[in-house]
């Protein structure tokens, strides 16, 4: 029953955020057409965005910085962020399953359960990395809004759950040689899951 409720909650959060993001992107596209903004790129970008989409970025070798191309890039951004959200939620769901497996493994160790736990960890690492790359390399928005926003909180929490992912993986590889690290591994995993969950919730705030 708890899993069903959790699933319904995630669906509600995702659908609400998708609608907000689509509306925001459509507004930006309209602003470009109406106002013909001269500044086609925000003054501040992630270094990965600047390397790929900046005025001297990789794609500018075949894709000049024009209003038409920026309109297209905002659509690309929108699609990449949709996939980012889906893969992120898949990662979060995997973390729930991994939590149950980890608890069961601590209570009743078995080689087969350990292999399952490790394989799921590998899958989570792959989906987590994919979601991160989609976010880091998506085309930048037209402008970066000042002040507090859910997106900024989302980015701040990303630093926390990225640190947690690294710590969880490092500790996981050391547990076999030092079982006393189990509580720290579990704490890192729970912290990562909490940060991931809060990062999803944060997108409800504008």
Task: Read off the pLDDT of residues 19-40 as tens digits, 9 standing for 90 and up.
Answer: 444 444 444 444 444 444 458 9
Per-residue confidence (pLDDT) for residue 204, from 0 to 100: 80
**In contact, 53 and 64? CB cutoff 8 Å:** no
Per-residue confidence (pLDDT) for residue 142, from 0 to 100: 87
Q: pTM for this structure?
A: 0.79
In tens, the pLDDT along 137-193 reads 999 998 877 778 888 899 999 999 999 999 999 999 999 899 999 999 999 999 999
Per-residue confidence (pLDDT) for residue 172, from 0 to 100: 94
Higher pLDDT, 121 or 18: 121
**In contact, 134 and 80? CB cutoff 8 Å:** yes
Length of the chain: 206
Sign of CA dihedral 59, 64, 68, 74: positive
User: Rounded CA gap, 158 and 1, in Å?
Assistant: 29
Whether the per-residue pLDDT at 206 is higher than 70: the answer is: no
Whether the per-residue pLDDT at 106 is higher than 80: the answer is: yes
- Residue whose entry in the numeric block shows the structure tokens 């990062």: 199
Per-residue confidence (pLDDT) for residue 37, from 0 to 100: 43
In tens, the pLDDT along 47-98 reads 999 999 999 999 999 999 999 999 999 999 999 999 999 999 999 999 999 9
Of the pLDDT bands very low, low, confident and very high (cuts 50, 70, 90), residue 205 is confident
In order, the DSSP letters of 117-186 are: HHHHHHHHHHHHHHHHHHHHHSPP-S----S--HHHHHHHHHHHHHHHHHHHHHHHHHTTT-GGGHHHHH
In tens, the pLDDT along 9-24 reads 444 444 444 444 444 4
């Amino acid at each position: 029953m708890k899993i069903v409720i959790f699933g319904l909650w995630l669906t509600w959060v995702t659908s609400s955020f998708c609608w907000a993001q689509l509306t925001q992107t459509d507004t930006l596209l309209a602003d470009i057409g109406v106002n013909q903004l001269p500044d086609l790129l925000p003054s501040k970008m992630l270094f990965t965005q600047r390397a790929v989409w900046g005025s001297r970025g990789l794609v500018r070798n075949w894709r000049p910085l024009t209003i038409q191309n920026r309109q297209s890039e905002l659509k690309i951004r929108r699609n990449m962020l949709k996939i980012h959200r889906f893969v992120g939620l898949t990662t979060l769901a995997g973390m729930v399953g991994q939590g149950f497996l980890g608890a069961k493994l601590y209570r009743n160790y078995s080689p087969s359960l350990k292999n399952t736990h490790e394989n799921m960890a590998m899958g989570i690492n792959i989906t987590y990395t994919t979601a991160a790359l989609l976010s880091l390399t998506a085309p930048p928005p037209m402008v970066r809004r000042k002040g507090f926003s859910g997106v900024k909180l989302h980015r701040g929490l990303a630093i926390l759950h990225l640190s947690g992912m690294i710590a969880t993986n490092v500790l996981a590889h050391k547990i076999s040689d030092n079982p006393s690290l189990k509580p720290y591994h579990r704490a890192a995993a729970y912290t990562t899951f909490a940060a991931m969950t809060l990062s999803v919730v944060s997108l409800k705030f504008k």
